[in-house]
Structure 1
Amino acid sequence: MELRILYGAHQTAQEQLRAHLEQNSDLLAKQGIFMPAAEIAEVAVNAAIKALRKGNADETTAATLMAELSGGVAYKRLLIIRPAISGSWMRPTKEGTLYPRGSSTAVQLTRLVGADKVQLYFATRNPASFLPACYNLVVQADPKQSFQDFAYQSDPSDLRWSEYLHRVQGKESELPVTVWSYEDFPYIWRSVAQAFSGVTNKEDLVAAEGNAQPEMSLKGAMLMQAYLAEHPTSDEPKLRKLAQKFEEKFPAKSDDSVPDVWPAELVEALSNAYDDDNYYIDRMENIRAIRRPVYPEMLDA
């Protein structure tokens, strides 16, 4: 069995891709493709990663992982969507790097199962919106943490996805990775779903209902953080309901900025650097980049 892993980044429409694939589960099943439920994948992958980090993983660990993911059925291909392999959205940067531990975890999982049996997939996102989007989650889990403390654990201007991908691939750039950007996803979701799943004809894929998970603006997240500082609660349903209200009142925009905290000049600089980084990524060895088509008639509807 082949294992295909979408391992990051956070807040790059993974759940929307999962919904699209689940909508087409019968089509995938006919072609020997299976995506285990998120909960099953979580338990199975967690156990494998724990064994890897303790240094006692072996062929039995790999066999157990594949058996739990497949339910004991001999599928042609297994699909995992689990951005936590990259690391935590609570601490996505450190010392000027993105996901400092994630690259080694992806490599270790690949070696455990067998490089000839694993394919890796990754979605990037403009750091100018990636960090505020992650903070959307942080503020609900740790409302004591300010955006300044979260976002400036590293200098945002130092962050490059290409550097992260180089770490995953290794010194000789031997490990192939398929990459796309969050910003392109609405236009290329069929191409992404086909590349990830291996389904024969992308035009057979049917879109799931609903849009991507809504996000609140950085201003909204900061206001929610201030509100929770005065009205603390650990009740998850209450937190989610509160977040929904802030999302409705303060929807995110692609060029979100907050003066003195996340200024427009920084957002523009990060966006320009991200464009340059994507240009570089497209030319890296053993990188397959899926990008938005040039011509409107070629867009995935």
Structure 2
Amino acid sequence: MIQEAGKRMQVVIHAGAHHTDEDRLINCLSANREMLARHGTNVPDPQRYRRLVRDVLHQAQDTGLAPNARDILVDAISNEGAVDRLVLSNPGFFGTPKMAVSGGVFYGAAEHRLNMFRQLFPDDHLELFIGVVNPATFLPPLLKETEFGTVEALLRGHEATHLRWSELITRIRTHHPDIPVTVWSNEDTPLIWSQVVRELAGIDPTVGFDGEFSLIEEIMTPAGRERFRGYLASHPGLTEVQKRRVVAAFLDKFADEAAIEEELDAPGWTDAHVAMLTELYDEDMYAVQRIQGVQVIAP
């Protein structure tokens, strides 16, 4: 790892949420590691740092950090080459699945965990990225990773209808107003995939990367994929806006409904309850967009 003396490094914290992109984002960045390194962006293998960062953060909480903890960590996990921007991704940065909705809020330990990151990277520039998701599709898979038998037990007596991502983002902005926050709806990810990847990586819209349309193609029919690839090949040089229009048009016609449809396995939930959670989530996203200092990536 090479870094200019006295220069602040950009440290990107991609904190999930759980069960959003399922590591697709960090895997895409990792597949472009060599290209990104030429742009000064370091994308270490998550297996090299997830447990290590967790242990270091616990140490920061329990006994404090050694003065050189930051340099030791960066040297241990970084790839060779200059580092201007370090990308760290873990849906568990703000807590385990069991902790994700304790207290009736999303990630109640988030601002405290960011305090720990500030201790670890005291002189660097932190940026937070988080994809949020409809509670109706967030809570059932989250439940399966805990010892609880029902969503109600997971929520410890709180109501799912009271959960708000805007509350989490407001809490983070209140405690850490100098940390830029970028948010997007997981449901929009197929349409905004390339922008999310580029924002995380810190590269310009003109920089191409492998896997730019990988998520789109996952949810297209085979025939749609072939026609989509053919269209892109015959229309080089599309702008980002044009690409989004093309993606939207092809998904409208060739979406694989089986790949898109999510199975909701929450005993006791009715269609009306799911519809209510979805409506509240849509309203919540409008509230997120109005929070000062937050960039919302949307189609």
**Which residue does the alignment assign to 2:10?**
2
**Which residue does the alignment assign to 1:179?**
183
Mapped to 1, the partners of 2:176 and 2:14 lie a distance apart of 22
In the TM superposition, residue 67 of structure 1 has moved relative to its aligned partner by 2.0
1:190 touches 1:202 (CA, 8 Å); kept in 2?
no
1:36 touches 1:70 (CA, 8 Å); kept in 2?
yes
Mapped to 2, the partners of 1:153 and 1:28 lie a distance apart of 46
1:126 touches 1:270 (CA, 8 Å); kept in 2?
yes
Q: What TM-score, normalized by structure 1, do the two folds share?
A: 0.74
Equivalent residue of 1:183, what SS? helix
Matched, 1:288 2:295: yes
- For residues 83-115 of structure 1, what are the alpha-carbon distances to aligned partners after superposition, in whole Å with 9 as ceiling and x for unaligned? 111111133212211111133102320343036
Matched, 1:278 2:267: no
Equivalent residue of 2:30, what SS? helix
Matched, 1:41 2:28: no
- For residues 246-290 of structure 1, what are the alpha-carbon distances to aligned partners after superposition, in whole Å with 9 as ceiling and x for unaligned? xxxx988358376x6112122111111111111111111110110
In the TM superposition, residue 126 of structure 1 has moved relative to its aligned partner by 0.6
Structure 1 residues 107 and 153: alpha-carbon distance in aligned structure 2, compared to 1, 3 A threshold: farther
In the TM superposition, residue 200 of structure 1 has moved relative to its aligned partner by 2.5
**Which residue does the alignment assign to 1:149?**
153
**Which residue does the alignment assign to 1:26?**
34
Amino acid in the other structure paired with 2:195? S
Mapped to 2, the partners of 1:115 and 1:127 lie a distance apart of 36
2:99 touches 2:108 (CA, 8 Å); kept in 1?
no
Matched, 1:61 2:69: yes
Structure 1 residues 43 and 88: alpha-carbon distance in aligned structure 2, compared to 1, 3 A threshold: closer
User: Residues 1-301 of structure 1 correspond to what in structure 2 (within 5 A)?
Assistant: 1-71=9-79, 73-114=81-122, 116-138=124-146, 142=147, 145-151=149-155, 153-171=157-175, 173-201=177-205, 204-207=208-211, 253-254=261-262, 256=264, 261-292=268-299
Mapped to 2, the partners of 1:14 and 1:202 lie a distance apart of 26
Mapped to 2, the partners of 1:204 and 1:273 lie a distance apart of 37
Identity %: 24
1:179 touches 1:290 (CA, 8 Å); kept in 2?
yes
Q: Which runs of 4+ in 1 moved over 4 A?
A: 208-212
2:143 touches 2:149 (CA, 8 Å); kept in 1?
no
Aligned-pair RMSD on alpha carbons? 2.8
In the TM superposition, residue 197 of structure 1 has moved relative to its aligned partner by 0.6
Structure 1 residues 107 and 253: alpha-carbon distance in aligned structure 2, compared to 1, 3 A threshold: farther
Unmatched 5+ stretches in structure 2? 1-8, 219-257
Mapped to 1, the partners of 2:82 and 2:207 lie a distance apart of 26
Q: How many residues matched? A: 251
1:48 touches 1:62 (CA, 8 Å); kept in 2?
no
Structure 1 residues 190 and 80: alpha-carbon distance in aligned structure 2, compared to 1, 3 A threshold: same
Q: What TM-score, normalized by structure 2, do the two folds share?
A: 0.74
Mapped to 2, the partners of 1:6 and 1:172 lie a distance apart of 16
- For residues 111-132 of structure 1, what are the alpha-carbon distances to aligned partners after superposition, in whole Å with 9 as ceiling and x for unaligned? 4303642211111011111001
Unmatched 5+ stretches in structure 1? 215-249, 293-301
Equivalent residue of 1:122, what SS? strand
In the TM superposition, residue 191 of structure 1 has moved relative to its aligned partner by 0.2
In the TM superposition, residue 204 of structure 1 has moved relative to its aligned partner by 0.4
Mapped to 2, the partners of 1:15 and 1:209 lie a distance apart of 16
In the TM superposition, residue 188 of structure 1 has moved relative to its aligned partner by 0.8
1:14 touches 1:81 (CA, 8 Å); kept in 2?
no
1:257 touches 1:263 (CA, 8 Å); kept in 2?
no
Amino acid in the other structure paired with 1:160? R
Structure 1 residues 208 and 251: alpha-carbon distance in aligned structure 2, compared to 1, 3 A threshold: closer
In the TM superposition, residue 38 of structure 1 has moved relative to its aligned partner by 1.2
Mapped to 2, the partners of 1:252 and 1:93 lie a distance apart of 25
Amino acid in the other structure paired with 1:156? A
- For residues 179-209 of structure 1, what are the alpha-carbon distances to aligned partners after superposition, in whole Å with 9 as ceiling and x for unaligned? 1111011111100000111122355022179
